Amino acid sequence: MKLTKQFISEIENSFGADSKLVLKAINFADKKHKGTLRDDGTPYITHPLKVAEFVKKFKVSKNASMLYMAAVLHDTLEDTYTSYRELCETFSEEVASIVMELSTAKFAPLWISGGEGGKAEYLAKKMEHMTNYALYIKLCDRLHNLTTLGGCSKEKQQRTINDTRIILDYLKVARKLTASQARVAAEIEEVLSELNKKG
């Protein structure tokens, strides 16, 4: 993926001294996801980049560059040949730890695949115990997945909608959301409402 001058300029303006490391994370994720497509046929890298954009949009933080990098890299441990050690050495232990939190354990699909809502319940309970940063990114991830359902089968669309409802309802009871998490959750609620209207 070739980054435009405008995009690079936006990164430099947003992250200043950290911009080189942020751009390194983007190029790293792009190489790791190379050749992988989303359900709508777009390169997979478009997903973590959009999640990172949401992360920057809904929260102002002194750790903005760390959050952005973790968002860009959030699927590398789970979906590519990337190790925790590699993320620590290339970026930082803080970034790697957040990415680890956002990754589904390799053994998990063996026991969450069975039963209605099994995966949603697993994710909801996992999200309940995430750090605030990881939960915030996970909600941004869920928001982008909801807004790009067009390329998915009807069955997957409905499953994603149902799973999201289960997760949000669980989190409302299980933990108090931060202001930034609540903003993303409210945005998700709006998207769910629009999707339900469309039927």
The domain spans of the chain are 5-198
Question: Does the active-site annotation cover 30?
Answer: no
Active site residue 78: yes
> Is 175 in contact with 185 (CB distance < 8 Å)?
no
Quick: pLDDT tens for 20-69.
Answer: 999 999 999 999 999 999 998 999 999 999 999 999 999 889 999 999 99
Sign for the CA dihedral angle at 166, 167, 172, 174 comes to positive
The reported pLDDT for the residue numbered 160 is 93
What Cα–Cα distance (Å) separates residue 152 from each residue in 44, 80, 164, 193?
14, 22, 16, 19
Of 10, 79, 86, 128, catalytic? 79
| 5-198 classified as CATH 1.10.530.10 | no
Residue 67 near residue 25 (C-beta atoms within 8 A): no
Gap between the Cα atoms of 77 and 86, Å rounded: 10
pLDDT tens-digit profile of 63-119?
A: 999 999 999 999 999 999 999 999 999 999 999 999 999 998 655 554 455 555 578
Could you read off the pLDDT of 151-197 as tens digits, one per residue?
889 999 999 999 999 999 999 999 999 999 999 999 999 999 998 88
pTM: 0.93
Catalytic residue from among 78, 86, 121, 128: 78
pLDDT at position 101: 96
